[in-house]
């Protein structure tokens, strides 16, 4: 679980450009999750060997100037609540604005590291103009240019010094996080599981304010259920709800083994659910999709479920090897099957394939389906092994790893899935030089 850094500030100061620069900076970085209706807003980055999650609060605010100020306050408050450190971005071209002052007022009350980043400083004159930002009362500042990257190194050096060292928490019990958009039935799902059965041993307050871990014992299997259902805010603004639930999901997903992604059957697999799904995928977590409120879908025919499943699989391509279960929390239909499936996915995620068996199965398949020649050169794969990581990663050793393209990696992944059952779990393949 990595530290969280939020980038806040009014629109058009260059937050997203800065965000994109950071998440694409190095090879070890996970791609940002892109929503269907808006710019990417969650990604991973690392600097000097320290990894952190980045939240971009940009691009969420719609409407007039007055609505603006209210919205931006909400965004900044949410970011402040979740983040370990905050980058407050302003724009030297425009100078200090009323909105900047509002945001700085909020930030001055916060007991967290705040870094004032003055963007668009790409010459000496602008560097001199930056002095006026002392008026915001946030002390020292960092001048940078998001577009060409100058100055970002100094800011990141200072930032990583204050980030907490988050060690990987190794727990005996598997953790299943119940995630999804507000009102999908997450809390009801957990209540349906534990309400009647009373299998709870303890309630542990989670690391984030509204996440509660419930220890649960069933099917001879003990695990922690993490409920992210406390993510609702009273405001009716959909954009905020979306932003808030993604932020909470970030924490829950990073700290679990399997994600139960709950969606409302009457709403479908929409942009926010997709965001949460890819978040789990990029964090290499096991995934089970639960389609709740199936009892409310009208005019069901024999193949309605099949068609619905097909739609979801199209939305999650190319990672389609994910269990999809249709449940109704109200009637308790298939809720225990959901947990049995999550347990199976957990076991798939921690599965280790013996090297000899792996080679016995995969090398003949590779022999019959060689990688296509590239620039007249033929790739020969000689050996493969599973890497000692908490989730399935495989290294294939060959003479020309740089000539192996993604379609062939997907072919290898599909063959691994067919032969060793990694349903519900992302599989990573590395090509290494023999």
Which of residues 332, 350, 368 is at a domain's end? Answer: 350
* Per-residue pLDDT tens over the stretch 314-356: 888 888 889 999 988 888 888 889 888 999 999 999 989 999 9
Q: pTM score, two decimals?
A: 0.63
**127 and 267 assigned to the same domain:** no
d(CA 336, CA 260) in angstroms, rounded, equals 13
Residue 51 or residue 136, greater confidence: 136
Token digits of residue 296: 């409310």
Domain that holds residue 372: 355-433
List, as residue ranges, the binding site: 9-16, 56-60, 119-122, 180-187, 227-231, 292-295
Number of domains in the chain: 3
List, as residue ranges, the binding site for GTP: 9-16, 56-60, 119-122, 180-187, 227-231, 292-295
Q: Is the pLDDT of residue 288 over 90?
A: yes
**What residues have CB less than 8 Å from 185, skipping those under 6 apart?**
262, 264, 292, 293, 329
Task: Please report the pLDDT score of residue 58 as a whole number.
Answer: 57
**119 and 199 assigned to the same domain:** no
Residue 18 or residue 80, greater confidence: 18
Position 19 in a domain: yes
Task: Please report the pLDDT score of residue 1 as a whole number.
Answer: 57
**58 and 155 assigned to the same domain:** yes
Neighbours of 116 (CB within 10 A): 25
Position 262 in a domain: yes
Which of residues 330, 350, 370 is at a domain's end? Answer: 350
Q: Is the pLDDT of residue 242 over 70?
A: no
Task: Please report the pLDDT score of residue 202 as a whole number.
Answer: 38
The residue-averaged pLDDT of 386-410 equals: 88
Position 169 in a domain: no
Q: Is the pLDDT of residue 31 over 80?
A: no
* Per-residue pLDDT tens over the stretch 126-175: 888 888 899 888 888 999 988 888 888 899 999 999 888 765 555 568 88
Coil, helix or strand for 296? helix
The residue-averaged pLDDT of 373-386 equals: 86
Task: Please report the pLDDT score of residue 55 as a whole number.
Answer: 79
Residue 115 or residue 16, greater confidence: 115
**What average pLDDT does the chain have?**
78
Position 182 in a domain: yes
Task: Please report the pLDDT score of residue 114 as a whole number.
Answer: 92
d(CA 96, CA 339) in angstroms, rounded, equals 53
Which of residues 100, 129, 162 is at a domain's end? Answer: 162
**208 and 267 assigned to the same domain:** yes
């Amino acid at each position: 679980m990595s530290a969280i850094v939020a980038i806040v500030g009014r629109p058009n100061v260059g937050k997203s450009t800065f965000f994109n620069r950071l998440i694409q900076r190095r090879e070890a970085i996970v791609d940002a999750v892109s929503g269907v209706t808006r710019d990417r807003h969650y990604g991973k980055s690392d600097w000097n060997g320290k990894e952190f999650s980045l939240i971009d609060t940009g691009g969420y605010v719609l409407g007039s100037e007055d609505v603006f100020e209210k919205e931006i306050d909400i965004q900044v408050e949410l970011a402040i609540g979740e983040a370990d450190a905050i980058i407050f971005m302003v724009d030297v071209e425009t100078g200090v604005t009323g909105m900047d002052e509002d945001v700085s007022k909020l930030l001055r009350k916060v007991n967290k590291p705040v870094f004032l980043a003055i963007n668009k400083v790409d010459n000496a004159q602008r560097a001199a103009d930056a002095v006026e930002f002392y008026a915001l009362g946030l002390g020292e500042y960092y001048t940078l240019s998001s577009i060409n990257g100058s100055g970002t190194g100094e800011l990141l050096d200072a930032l990583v010094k204050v980030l907490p060292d988050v060690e990987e928490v190794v727990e005996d019990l598997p953790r299943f996080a119940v995630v999804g958009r507000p009102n999908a039935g997450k809390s009801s799902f957990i209540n349906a599981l534990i309400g009647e059965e009373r299998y709870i041993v303890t309630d542990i307050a989670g690391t984030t304010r509204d996440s509660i871990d419930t220890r649960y014992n069933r099917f001879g299997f003990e695990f922690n259920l993490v409920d992210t259902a406390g993510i609702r805010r009273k405001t009716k603004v959909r954009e905020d709800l979306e932003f808030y639930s993604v932020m909470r999901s970030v924490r829950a997903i990073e700290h679990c083994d399997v994600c139960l992604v709950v969606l409302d059957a009457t709403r479908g697999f929409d942009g926010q659910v997709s965001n949460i799904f890819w978040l789990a995928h990029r964090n290499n977590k096991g995934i089970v999709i639960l389609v709740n409120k199936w009892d409310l879908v009208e005019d069901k025919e024999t193949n309605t479920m099949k068609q619905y499943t097909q739609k979801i699989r199209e939305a999650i391509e190319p990672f389609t090897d994910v269990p999809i279960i249709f449940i109704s929390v109200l009637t308790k239909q298939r809720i225990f099957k959901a947990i049995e499936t999550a347990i199976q996915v957990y076991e798939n995620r921690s599965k280790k394939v013996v090297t000899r068996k792996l080679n016995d199965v995969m090398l003949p398949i590779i022999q019959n389906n060689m990688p296509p020649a590239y620039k007249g050169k033929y790739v020969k794969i000689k050996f493969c092994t599973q890497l000692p990581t908490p989730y399935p990663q495989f290294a294939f050793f060959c003479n020309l790893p740089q000539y192996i393209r993604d379609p062939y990696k997907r072919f290898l992944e599909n063959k691994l899935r067919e032969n060793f059952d990694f349903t519900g779990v992302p599989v990573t393949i590395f090509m290494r030089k023999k």
